[in-house]
Amino acid sequence: MKVVIVGCGRVGAALAEAFTGLGHDVTILDTSTRAFDRLSDSFSGRAVRGDGTDEDVLRRAGAEDADVFVALTEGDNRNVMATQVAMENLGAKRAIAKINDPVRAAAYAELGIATICRTTMLTDAMLGFLGLKPTGMPSVIAPVPHRHENGAPKLGASPLSASPLGASPAGGKSTTEA
């Protein structure tokens, strides 16, 4: 499976390692070369320095027709933009954007972008640990499918399920600057 991850923070790096450990073809992008230090020396994917919201950067990084595209930067807007470019312009089959604001997460899903909201996820995890009732707000929100007037699918028409998918600045890994 071809996997593209934008954002090599703790979650992005862990996810990249997990996908490569399962034998998938992984490319991870970040604007900071130092972010790739989070990847282990055994990481077998590609690390690309560049802006994940830039279509040309994503193309040069090989993101066209990705089976899975995940945007995990710290910015909600950047994650939505990257996901939208991947789906609409690059043909990503399944994509999800990490969103911090629960209200925005639901709004973006209505616009056809699958989201995962860490705010809701952490809140419910803490409430659950304390034996309290969770908020009831979903942490992962599948996109609402939409179609163009001619019947062709547009952004979000391929719903995402929550089911599982099948000493240099880069910590010794080769990196590419897109």
Domains and CATH numbers, the chain: 2-177 (3.40.50.720)
pLDDT over 60 (residue 13): yes
Which pLDDT score is estimated for 74? 94
Which pLDDT score is estimated for 161? 36
Q: How confident is the model at residue 109 (pLDDT cuts 50, 70, 90)?
A: confident
Question: Which of these, 91, 30, 86, lies nearest to 38 by C-alpha position?
Answer: 30
Under a CB-based contact definition with an 8 Å cutoff, are residues 93 and 67 in contact? Answer: yes
pLDDT over 50 (residue 123): yes
Which pLDDT score is estimated for 142? 87
Which pLDDT score is estimated for 54? 97
d(Cα 24, Cα 96) in Å, to the nearest integer?
18
Q: What average pLDDT does the structure give for the chain?
A: 86
Q: What are 91's two structure tokens?
A: 């043909």
Which pLDDT score is estimated for 178? 55
Percent pLDDT > 70 in the chain is: 81
Q: Report pTM.
A: 0.81
The H or E element containing residue 52 is none
Which pLDDT score is estimated for 146? 58
Residue type at 101 in one-letter notation = D
The pLDDT tens digits of the residues spanning 79-96 come to 999 999 999 999 999 999
Instruction: Quickly list DSSP for 132-178.
Output: PPP----SEEPPPP-B-TTS-B-TT-SPPPSS-----TTTT--EEE-
